[in-house]
Structure 1
């Protein structure tokens, strides 16, 4: 069997701690005919595009987030902290229509941001999880899971009218109800991490050490990124 290349990817978990039913995360359902994780409920996200490596942002990453993202990265431009952050924000805008950032210039191909006159801002992103999909699938990704406080979103967080059709049933899912959905295994694990983070008082902050499910080979490994 030919080895399937592992692509760098970024997933953005948007957490609303002010929701009436308790802390909630934004999720959508992949299509039944999707080549990867059909019919599963997931967070917005996707592979890093080459253009993400040079996309201009409104400001820098948080220093801790940048250090953790860089600590186990490869020499590939698509694994740089800035490219991963750009991919996460771009995918959020494309798949949900939601954005974060001040008034300013947007990267050339970021139509949602250009239409809104906004410049994407990665400064509030928090790195919370990393997982490489195991061998045997039709597609493989090295996914970095980033967290964003819904308070940082621009405009109405319930307005998904500008979303593409990649995810259906977009909605804010209470953390207490999320595990009842049809989820990939790794999403269940990540949700447990988010539930723990959501309980902390004060400004949203990430873990000191990031969990990492390393499935590059057929002998899976769990470790911590410090």
Structure 2
């Protein structure tokens, strides 16, 4: 009887210890977000020449175009080259407002890369503007550590945009703003998902000299058997070719 009780106590102790070990593995104890741009070369593949459907087929109203029904008639009915006057101080987003970047720990592959734009109302193609700066980007790294100090999620993403385009010398606009996964590593037992959101575009300049502004959010979620963590990093992109991480 005594031996049976001792064996039972030992079994329970071992089970409790194993549970504590398992829990420590699946817990999230530390999260860090770091600017690691200097560790990554400014690499822009040939596909950036067709970063979104606007480049390949500007005037067809491709399926990624985010616009209201009231804007549809203006954008679809008129060739921007024939429009008498663009509404340069009214800036709209011709592009996707929400799109997946990482799903179940794997990068989402798009033949036509999802992106957003801050362009003058009445324009359907960014290439009808001129004076664009070269594409600009920064890379940020997110690391999640568990109870053992192990890195269970290591995710680097690149914020890319092209700014400075103008309509006959008026305004500074933004095109091809997007997030790209630079690296992702997810440990066994963890699920990682990330999506991009472009909630707003607006005019930060004046009516005569509009400057596009855009908020870009990178949202991600980490889940395990005992943890659920969700975070967002926000960035402000300006038509004057600047990028700022928001606190």
TM-score range (shorter-chain normalised) is under 0.3
TM-score (norm 2): 0.25
Q: Please state which structure has a larger fraction of its residues in strand.
A: 2
Query: Whose Rg is larger?
Result: 2
Q: Please state which structure has a larger fraction of its residues in helix.
A: 1
Which structure would you say has the larger RCO, counting Cα contacts within 8 Å and 6 or more residues apart? 1
TM-score (norm 1): 0.26
